[in-house]
Amino acid sequence: MSSATQSVNTTSMTQVVKKRRLRPARVRELVVTLLLIPIAFLWIYPFLWMVSAAFKTNNDIFRTGLTLLPQTLEWENFVRAWVQARIGQYFLNTVIIAAGSVSLVLITTSMMGYALGRYDFPGKKTIMAFFIATVFLPAAYTIIPIFDLVSTLGLNGSLLGVILAQSGGAHVIFILLFAGYFGQIPRELEEAAIMDGASFLRVFVQIMLPLSKPIIATTIIMQFISSWNDFLLPLVLTLPRPELRTLSVGMYAFRGEYFTDWAGMAAAATIGIIPVIIVFLFLQRYFIEGLAGAVKQ
């Protein structure tokens, strides 16, 4: 017992006396690593199972038990997912919606955050209060009027309706992050620029925005995750228009039509999920730092 606590206690002294005290930290590392490997494997097991099922035949999926390696590679499943379930089209729709809503949200929240964080103007407190009051607004509260509004505006025939509706949520967290960040920047910086004759807009675009890269990263990542995961809005706004469906809605509709085609659904799910995981693996530094920025600022 006492030796165990001691081993924990001495870990970070390693730099001081490297040779003698290296071992306890290494022992602890080994134990923790060996414990975490099976947990992490189970954590991502659903994805491994999904990819494996995508290559099996419909009969084999639930017959071959726990084996992850398929006996034959059924590329046919992916053809069905691509042609019947139109997953390629839905993937593209989802990318367009995510790109559109991320851009719009970035522009609107950075501009609002700049005005709110750096300047005092009549009505500022009221506007802030209204926005903060909506933080806990459930999505289901607004969905019926949004559906009605998008139909009235005639936007239910294009992806624009979904993009605008996603961007029009009160993104209080992003606004507060931008406001807090811009508020900290010293006044002298823009005063010098204004002396040189730079306009309000130029100060914002050329001086302030480049300084706020960490918040821009956080906003892009959080809004991307939220847009990519969105289901209720695109479901309500695009269900009657199959060519406008997003991945979520398309997959949901595919199951409704071909509910016994397990392998086809697994293939469709694989096409929908794996590219995002790959993108995440390449850009994970930005994902993790971006998300962490929401708390750190």
Q: List the one residue from 92, 95, 160, 232 that touches another protein (CB under 8 A).
A: 232
Residue 72: CB minimum distance to another protein, A: 19
Task: Please pick, from the candidates 85, 179, 216, 266, the single residue that binds another protein as defined by CB under 8 A.
Answer: 266
Q: Which of 1, 3, 5, 257 binds another protein (CB under 8 A)?
A: 5
> Contacts for 170-174 with beta carbons within 8 Å, 24 or more apart?
170/131, 170/134, 170/135, 170/137, 171/105, 171/108, 171/109, 171/219, 171/223, 172/131, 172/132, 172/134, 172/135, 173/135, 173/222, 173/294, 174/105, 174/109, 174/113, 174/215, 174/218, 174/219, 174/222, 174/223
229 binds another protein (CB under 8 A): yes
When asked if residue 247 is in the footprint of another protein (CB under 8 A), the reply is: yes
Sites for another protein among residues 178-197 (CB under 8 A): none
Nearer to another protein, 9 or 71 (CB): 9
Out of 164, 216, 217, 267, the residue judged to bind another protein by CB under 8 A: 164
CB of 74 to another protein, least distance (A): 16
CB-count exposure of residue 292 (10 Å: 0-12, 13-18, 19+): middle
- Closer residue to another protein in complex, CB, 6/79: 6
- Binding piece for another protein, criterion CB under 8 A, among 61-69, 77-85, 183-191, 209-217: 61-69
Distance CA(149)–CA(141), nearest Å, equals 14
Q: Does 162 bind another protein (CB under 8 A)?
A: no
Query: Which of 69, 129, 140, 195: binder of another protein (CB under 8 A)?
Result: 140
Q: Are 162 and 233 in contact (CB under 8 A)?
A: yes
Residues 51, 271 contacting (CB under 8 angstroms): no
**Interface pattern 71-110 for another protein (x via CB under 8 A):** -----------------------x---------x--xxx-
Q: Does 154 bind another protein (CB under 8 A)?
A: no
207 touches another protein by CB under 8 A: no
Report yes or no: 268 and 147 within 8 Å, Cβ to Cβ. Answer: no
How many residues touch another protein under the rule CB under 8 A: the total is 108
| Shortest distance (Å) from residue 209 CB to another protein | 12
286 touches another protein (CB under 8 A): no
- CA 290, 160, 110 angle in degrees (round to 5)? 35
Write out the two tokens for 179.
Answer: 């406001």
Q: Which stretch binds another protein (CB under 8 A): 69-77, 78-86, 187-195, 246-254?
A: 246-254
CA-atom Rg of the chain in angstroms: 25
Compute the distance between CA of residue 125 and CA of residue 129 in angstroms, rounded to an integer.
6
Identify the DSSP state of 241: -
